[in-house]
Amino acid sequence: MSILYSPETRLLTLRTAHSTYQMDIDEGGFLRHTYYGARADGADFRYLHRRYDRGFAGNPAERRNDRAFSLDNMPQEYTGFNAGDYRTPALCLVHADGSYAADLRYAGHEIRKGKYALPGLPAAFDRGGAAETLVVTLRDTASPLQIRLYYGVFEELDVIARATEIVNGGESAVYIEKAASACVDIPYGKWELLHFQGRHCMERQPERLPLGHDVQVVESRRGASSHHHNPFVIVCAPDAREYSGECYGFMPVWSGSHKTEVETDSLESVRVVTGFHESQFRWKLEPGESFFTPEVLLSYSAEGFSRLSRQYHDMIRYHICKSSYVGKPRKILINNWEATFMNFTTERLLNIARQAAALGVDLFVMDDGWFGARDTDDAGLGDWVVNERKLPGGLAPLIGELKKLGMDFGIWIEPEMVNEDSDLFRAHPEWVLKAPNRPPMYGRNQLVLDMTRADVRDYLYGCFSKLLRENDISYVKWDMNRSVSDVFSNALPAERQGEVPFRYTLGVYDLLERLTSEFPGVLFEGCAGGGGRFDAGMLYYTPQIWCSDDTDAIERLDIQYGTSFGYPPFTMGAHVSACPNQQTGRTTSMFTRGVVAMSGTFGYELDLNRLAQSEKEEVQLQIEAFRKVEPLLRNGDYYRLNELEDLGYYSAWEFAARDGSEALLNLVVKHVRANAPLINVRLKGLTPGASYRLDGSEETYSGAALMSGGYTFPMLWGDYPSMQLRFVRVE
């Protein structure tokens, strides 16, 4: 069993393959956190916590004479506001009498087989009996309010999922102003914060910071997880590296505004509180109602970032992505955006498709500009009707010609947005988020539809379900090209406007659920101006996400590197684009562009007709090479082979088959130097006693040699040179 309870000690212990998570119920009913770290069967970790009288650390009424007992320095599982713990709270609410307080005590628990589910929210799911669930109920001492803490234990994956339910058992409404998904106290040790910041076209850049005696916050207030601060964070020991050291991961399964607070208190205990952002949030919880927080995935590694990453990769692969495409080969696609932007016709698209098909591409994706009066980004959003001036006869003639070429068809949509210059807005101006009597803030000259409204979602569902029913479409790219602002819904009363930010994301999930469930044969790709909504919540519905609007191969090295800490490579949309690159003006070789793009969902984004014949031949070779290694890229373990401090010189990474049968070693030199030292990297995941042949040569090496001594690359010259080496076990 992965969940244990001892009635004698009142200890609750969660076990995974390599970690232990423990809490206890003290004599007053406080649920204390005792330990989270390396697995230690049979241990009672209560001994770690000693109590002393600390100045200005208040005492509960029943322990008023025990000045060493204070919530303010006790490790806890879930903390309420205004009840004696002055550190960052997990819960803040207002009772009917106007008071702010939540004194939470243990009221019972239940252990279940399988994994809990969350109504209206994406969450990890059980597959093949892999999980157990613990539900701990806490009760407020002065009201009928209950808090249910959910723990889903995936033992073999070393992941614990957490979520919270707030239940109003009283006769009056309660207002929730903050409700975190999880609170984790780490009472001892020195720790640092690794988070993933960035901007549009440069997402998820690792930044490692020491923790001082303060509160460090990683957050997005943009209505999406954002280009700027990904919700995934790592708390790690100062000596943690790729293959050594302790680290804790925190990954919210949430696509809206988020907030993770990491506080180091005066006694050097670290508290992590994570979940959705409470900015502009106020939820009216009526009697008898429940409120569920999004889920957060916790994972611990004593063997550095690499193991932590693979734990998350497997969790997402097997228990987050629900698409039927998980575990199956993906089509090699070509997207017309960087080739044509919105200036295209059926014949111009087919001209690109014919060349792509001749080189071996499987899927043609038509991007923005196919609908309404859409010639620029100033008009047409919301009018999801084919523009027959560009596409005479609609989509059918285009799709028919593509089928003759042996290609499938995909399409771009942006459901959540509308232009004022659209028939939809002219008919329903009340359907946008907009504060009364104020001019709106524009982004890309578009406004945000009110996804809290059922009529808006029904309209969108009608448009896109009709599109998918009437046309042979196998791929949909779902985009979102601005941040959310002017948060106000015409469909809700004043007292419920604080619910709009949360309900907006629930509305997005509702529409995604309806469409992905009705059309399971369609591969949905997420996008938000590239990687502005790259999170586990979206991956539940869309098993791949366009990683960044920056297609420059050298920039993509850093973007895909940072993304890989939490998210598997097979979820990253990656394309070979034209050079000079449209975002940076940089020129890199076709080979290097291919090496980088192969480490994601491989495709092209350019007009192949404009390539030289030698480049077209190289594209054909790339496609053949990709098909050869695609099962390894999709199913293998991913390893980063250089540390953060090496990234200015080169990037090296590897895919290794889980049975040790083969490995693909990739290297790109980002800064070629005169008389440079040779680059040597140690491979991972091989069979030590086996021999491996370097594909395309007669060279053989032992697995032990490649993992211990490594592989030394020859001197590489020129602009951004690269190598891709496949090692195959000799049977």
Could you list the active site residues?
A: 535, 615
Say whether 657 sits in a helix, a strand or coil. Answer: coil
Q: Which two tokens stand for residue 88?
A: 């960052």
CA of residue 634 relative to chain centroid, distance: 18
CA distance 87 to 276: 18
CA distance 139 to 145: 6
CA distance 572 to 576: 13
Residue 603 is classified by DSSP as E
CA distance 536 to 252: 7
CA distance 177 to 175: 6
Q: What are the distances in angstroms from CA 76 to CA 94, 255, 323?
A: 21, 27, 37
CA distance 123 to 161: 9
CA distance 483 to 443: 7
Neighbours of 715 (CB within 10 A): 12
Q: In what helix (H) or strand (E) does residue 560 lie, and over which residues does it extend?
A: helix 553-564
Q: What are the distances in angstroms from CA 225 to CA 205, 505, 568?
A: 15, 11, 18
CA distance 412 to 424: 18
Using a 10 angstrom Cβ sphere, with 0-12 exposed, 13-18 middle and 19 or more buried, the burial of residue 441 is: middle
Residue-wise DSSP of 686-714: --TTSEEEETTSS-EEEHHHHHHT-EEPP
Residue 494 is classified by DSSP as G
> Among residues 530, 680, 658, which one has the least CA distance to residue 600?
530
> Among residues 66, 40, 70, which one has the least CA distance to residue 57?
70
Dihedral pair phi/psi, residue 553, rounded to 5°? -60, -35
Is the preceding omega at residue 122 within 30 degrees of 0, hence cis? no
Q: Which two tokens stand for residue 130?
A: 């892999």
Dihedral pair phi/psi, residue 373, rounded to 5°? -95, 55
Residue keyed to tokens 């923790």: 211
CA distance 586 to 583: 8
CA distance 630 to 657: 11
